[in-house]
Amino acid sequence: MSSKYLTILNIIIFITSLFTFSYIITSSFSSSLSSPSLQTSKSLTKNSHFDFCPTNFTNYCPCEDPKRQKKFPNKKWFRKERHCPKANERLKCLIPKPKGYQKPFHWPKSKDNAWFSNVPFTKLVEYKRLQNWIRLEGDRFVFPGGGTSFPDGVEGYVDDLKKLLPVSLNSGWIRTVLDVGCGVASFGASLMEYGVLTMSIAPSDEHEAQVMFALERGLPAMLGVFSTHRLTFPSNSFDMAHCSRCLVQWTAYGNISIFFFSLDNT
């Protein structure tokens, strides 16, 4: 057989093989799309619908539910730790926005302002009005930068703190800070001026969840307490830790060791 016919034969065999391979792949793909497992997954996705929770669940936080917390002993502040609901107690609904919720202010305006309708808590305004923590002016909260530990304002407090630090806040050596017992997070907001990012933590208390004010101001924050468990941050998370009147029982139950273990993450 001449080389010309051999070449034509090889081309025919190649085209036939390619067609057969393409047909098998296409058939397998079509079959997998119509498989029962994928159909079940599709139907589950289609039928997964959650209604909104009642309006009184606006500030509901599953693992920080005050009603559930009361079931636990207050010794070592264990009551303030996270206590998450069991599988059969979990709500299957969406947390609704507060009535009249508005889009938060953009930074840097959010540093000093937050809409009252987004965090409609008035207790802190009443209890801390003489300490200049927070004021209610019309439809918004204003944060003047005062605080229990800031008689000269948070700027004056940070100026005093800079005298104690071995490095400058502008040096770049201090980039992340953990603020324990943050109040309305004026300390963390002030450090933003130096390019320092602060994680503000505080438990929910009689002043409501103060960290909500921090979040509305555009600052990282979470509910947390130094009690029986260490915080869930990995190593090298923070360059500095700050605590001022944070109500941690330092000399009781070894809490100071928990704090220094967290400092060891710096």
Summarize pLDDT for 125-144 with one digit per residue, the tens: 777 766 778 889 999 999 98
In a domain, 77, yes or no: yes
**Domain assignment of residue 70, given as a range:** 55-263
In a domain, 78, yes or no: yes
Q: Coil, strand, or helix at residue 49?
A: coil
Q: Is the peptide bond before 108 cis (omega within 30 degrees of 0)?
A: yes
pLDDT interval class at 106 (50, 70, 90):
very high
Mean pLDDT of the chain: 79
Alpha helices by DSSP H, listed for the chain, are 3-33, 36-47, 66-69, 123-127, 153-164, 186-191, 211-216, 255-263
- What is the spatial distance between Cα 128 and Cα 44, in angstroms, rounded to a whole number? 50
E strand or H helix that includes residue 222: strand 221-223
Please count the helices (runs of H) and the strands (runs of E) in the chain.
8, 7
CA atoms within 13 A on the CB side of 23: 6
Average pLDDT over residues 210-218: 91
Q: Which residues pair with 114 in a beta bridge?
A: 141
Of the ranges 2-16, 141-155, 191-205, 252-266, the best mean pLDDT one: 191-205
Average pLDDT over residues 221-234: 80
In a domain, 38, yes or no: no
Residue 45 or 81, more confident? 81
Q: Coil, strand, or helix at residue 124?
A: helix
In a domain, 4, yes or no: no
Domain count, the chain: 1
Q: Coil, strand, or helix at residue 20?
A: helix
pTM of the model: 0.73
In a domain, 85, yes or no: yes
Contact 214, 107 (CB under 8 A): no
In a domain, 23, yes or no: no
In a domain, 139, yes or no: yes
Average pLDDT over residues 27-40: 43
In a domain, 14, yes or no: no
